């Protein structure tokens, strides 16, 4: 059993197993991963202070056959469920290699996240459209293998 698998009790400190890597600059983040021809999005800040998102246009996500989109709960991170697709490996690695888009692989957030990818929506619409076009092209040859198994935990990730 690892440090992260031990049960925790309220009021006890959580071990920071990645703290040393973070303070020494050794920790790897998504931006540190090289990918030839990758499309990189930038954070687009709202020009309206304390603005409220009242809705998100899901038409781009609906163009991805076999991919399930769950609208985010007050965040700019979207979880895409690729479990119904017949992918040759981890979803995040597949999207990086075949689409040239760097996303977070859901398995990095725990076992229930396997088969999901986390996509940052905080970018300009033309870049988001290009991201969706690339992912759609990559998954086009991966026929859905049936409905995904229900997973309330993975769908509940808040980022």
- pLDDT string in tens for the chain (159-residue length): 454 565 656 777 766 777 778 788 788 776 677 677 766 666 666 677 777 767 767 777 677 777 777 766 667 888 899 999 989 999 999 999 999 999 999 999 988 899 999 998 888 888 888 999 999 999 988 877 655 555 444 444 444
Q: Give pLDDT, residue 149.
A: 53
Q: Give pLDDT, residue 157.
A: 45
Q: Give pLDDT, residue 159.
A: 44
Q: Does domain 60-159 have CATH number 3.90.1150.10?
A: yes
Sequence spans of domains, the chain: 60-159
Give me the phi and psi of 102, to 5 degrees please.
Answer: -90, 120
Three-class secondary structure of residue 122 per DSSP:
coil
Give 79's contacts (C-beta < 8 A, 6+ positions apart).
70, 72, 106, 116, 117, 118, 119, 154, 155, 157
């Amino acid at each position: 059993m690892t440090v992260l698998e031990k049960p925790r009790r309220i009021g006890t400190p959580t071990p920071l197993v990645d703290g040393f890597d973070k303070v020494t600059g050794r920790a790897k983040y998504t931006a540190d991963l090289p990918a030839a021809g990758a499309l990189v999005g930038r954070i687009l800040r709202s020009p309206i202070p304390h603005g409220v998102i009242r809705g998100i246009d899901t038409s781009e996500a609906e163009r991805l056959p076999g991919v399930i989109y769950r609208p985010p709960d007050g965040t700019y991170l979207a979880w895409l469920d690729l479990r119904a697709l017949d992918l040759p490996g981890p979803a995040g690695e597949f999207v990086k290699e075949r689409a040239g888009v760097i996303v977070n692989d859901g398995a990095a957030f725990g076992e229930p996240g396997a088969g999901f990818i986390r996509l940052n929506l905080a970018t300009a619409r033309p870049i988001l459209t290009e991201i969706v076009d690339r992912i759609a092209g990559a998954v086009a040859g991966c026929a859905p293998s049936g409905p995904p198994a229900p997973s309330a935990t993975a769908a509940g990730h808040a980022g």
